[in-house]
Structure 1
């Protein structure tokens, strides 16, 4: 029991450290992406941390299996390097018993991943979709920030206001530049609007206009002297809605209980994917335990690169099989289970390879002894 607690503690501490580093790296990349959308006025800066919080279960369900895999390699690799595993082997610690001890913390990780994959992650995706839909319903006026040039309509419009009231009802010193495009998408010049003040006006059909007052409109092409200037007292500009793209699919937000009773092949693929992630934990555990065995003279990182390549191959084949299952190239009855079966056999083969090799060497030595005695 003391050895079990020691191994579990070493494994869980390394798992937590590796997973924390991976989570920071992945969340930083996504946060930068959302921050760029907020800087363009496509997202309200106030919802950035809310989005990241709802996306965290989806990140963790993929990070924890990799963290466990690397945690076993690093933790057990250190024990082999410090000859602690040699001492444990001398007291009767075999590869089978080591694997059995490792499966206990792996089961805890698998239960956590199952909770994330089947429960929290779909709820988080649904909340993120709701936030994006709310942001998509906003207009340029709602996301406008004073003192900042804001790009809208795929870069064809640039808006600037020097001042904005607390209730976002009044603007001052407004500048709007918009490219005029033909029906074929060709640029036909630029329209520039400047105004002393402006306000938002909602029409009965729900469309919103920015009503500009006391300003000028300039129409022309940069570099040409042919342009037109119009002074106006009141001018209305239609406010477009921000175009926010979400990388999430709708089926990722469907609760797991609804997937069980569905006959839709795409939903069945999603269900198999969610079930595959907890199963991934057990398979990578069987792969990592034999790969963690290193010679102290060779160093703890000798097998790290091949092990990572094996894990990438496992996950890559699983993702490819998911795409093929979506397109109907793989029968639903076969599903994703064959991928787990292949790598499970690889793990079991590596686990028993040492025992088979030792038994073969022992039999060969006995034959040589018998031959020498004869």
Structure 2
């Protein structure tokens, strides 16, 4: 029991450290991406941390199996390097028994991954898509920041204001550049509006207008001298209506219960993917235990690179099989299970190869002694 607690603690501590590092790396990359979208006016800056919170379960369900795999390799590799595993082997600790001990932390991780993949991650993805739908319905005034040029999502209009009131209604020092739609083969050029001030008005029919005061409008094509200049006292610009959608279309945002009741091939692929992640935990544990065995003279990182390549091959084939299943190239009955079967056989081969090799070597030695 003491050995069991010691090994479990080593694996769980290393798993936590590795998973935390991987999570920080992935979350940082995604946060930078969303931050760039917020800087471009595509997202509300105040919702960035909420978005990251919704995406966290989806990240964890993929990070934890890799964290466990690397945790076993690093924790047991250190024990082999410091000859602690040699002492345990002398007391009867076999590879199979070590694997049984490792199943306890692996089961904890598998249960956590199952909770994430079957329940929490779809809920987070659902809330994430609803939030994006609301972000798509934002107008320029909802994301406009004073002193910064801001482009619309389709890139047809660039807006700038020197000052903006707290209620986002009144503006000062307004600049708007809009690309006009082409008529046939004729380029309509651009229109530039400048005004001392402006305000936003919402009519009873729901239409939103930007009313500009004391300004100029310039129409023409860049590089040509035939610009038309119009001075105005009041100018109204119709703003696009926000279109809020509550529809969730992403498969990863559909609940597991709804996937089970669906006959769609893509739904079957998504369901098998979610079930594959907890199963992945046990199979990578089976592969990691024998791969962690190293010679103290060789160092603990000798098998780390081949082990990571094996894990990446497993995950890559699994993702490719998921894509083939979604396209109908694989029967649902075969699905993703054949991938797990292949790497289960590899794991069993790795686990029993070393004891079998030692047993055969001892038999050859015994025969040589007998003949001698």
- Taking structure 1 as the reference length, the TM-score comes to 0.95
Which position in structure 1 is the counterpart of 2:273?
Answer: 273
- Mapped to 1, the partners of 2:183 and 2:302 lie a distance apart of 61
Which position in structure 2 is the counterpart of 1:109?
Answer: 109
Work out whether residues 208 and 241 of structure 2, in 8 Å CA contact, stay in contact via their aligned partners in 1.
Answer: no
- Report Cα offsets for 1:240-276 as digits up to 9, x if no partner: 47999xxx96221111112122211111111100000
Which position in structure 2 is the counterpart of 1:294?
Answer: 294
Q: 1:202 Cα shift?
A: 2.7
- Report Cα offsets for 1:256-305 as digits up to 9, x if no partner: 11212221111111110000001000000001011000001111111011
Q: 1:365 to 1:108 in 2, by over 3 A?
A: same
- Report Cα offsets for 1:109-161 as digits up to 9, x if no partner: 00000000001000000111111111111111221111111111433321111
- Mapped to 1, the partners of 2:41 and 2:30 lie a distance apart of 17
Which position in structure 2 is the counterpart of 1:168?
Answer: 168
- Report Cα offsets for 1:4-43 as digits up to 9, x if no partner: 1111111111100100010011111111111111111111
- Equivalences, count: 369
Which position in structure 1 is the counterpart of 2:308?
Answer: 308
Which position in structure 1 is the counterpart of 2:221?
Answer: 221
Q: 1:219 Cα shift?
A: 1.3
Which position in structure 2 is the counterpart of 1:30?
Answer: 30
Which position in structure 2 is the counterpart of 1:95?
Answer: 95
- Mapped to 2, the partners of 1:130 and 1:161 lie a distance apart of 30
Q: Is 1:138 equivalent to 2:138 in the alignment?
A: yes
Q: 1:184 Cα shift?
A: 6.4
Which position in structure 2 is the counterpart of 1:355?
Answer: 355
The runs of 5 or more residues in structure 2 that have no matched partner are none
Work out whether residues 140 and 242 of structure 1, in 8 Å CA contact, stay in contact via their aligned partners in 2.
Answer: no
Work out whether residues 195 and 213 of structure 2, in 8 Å CA contact, stay in contact via their aligned partners in 1.
Answer: yes
Task: Return structure 1 stretches of 4+ with deviation > 6 angstroms.
Answer: 241-244
Work out whether residues 207 and 241 of structure 2, in 8 Å CA contact, stay in contact via their aligned partners in 1.
Answer: no
- Report Cα offsets for 1:179-212 as digits up to 9, x if no partner: 2341569854221100111112234554422111
- Mapped to 1, the partners of 2:307 and 2:185 lie a distance apart of 51
- Taking structure 2 as the reference length, the TM-score comes to 0.95
Which position in structure 2 is the counterpart of 1:345?
Answer: 345
- Mapped to 2, the partners of 1:371 and 1:92 lie a distance apart of 30
- Mapped to 1, the partners of 2:155 and 2:240 lie a distance apart of 12
- Mapped to 1, the partners of 2:268 and 2:74 lie a distance apart of 36
Which position in structure 2 is the counterpart of 1:84?
Answer: 84
Which position in structure 1 is the counterpart of 2:71?
Answer: 71
Work out whether residues 136 and 241 of structure 1, in 8 Å CA contact, stay in contact via their aligned partners in 2.
Answer: no
Aligned ranges 1:133-282 → 2 under 5 Å: 133-183=133-183, 188-240=188-240, 250-282=250-282
Work out whether residues 42 and 153 of structure 2, in 8 Å CA contact, stay in contact via their aligned partners in 1.
Answer: no
Q: 1:184 to 1:345 in 2, by over 3 A?
A: farther
Secondary structure, counterpart of 2:284 in structure 1: helix
* Alignment RMSD: 1.8
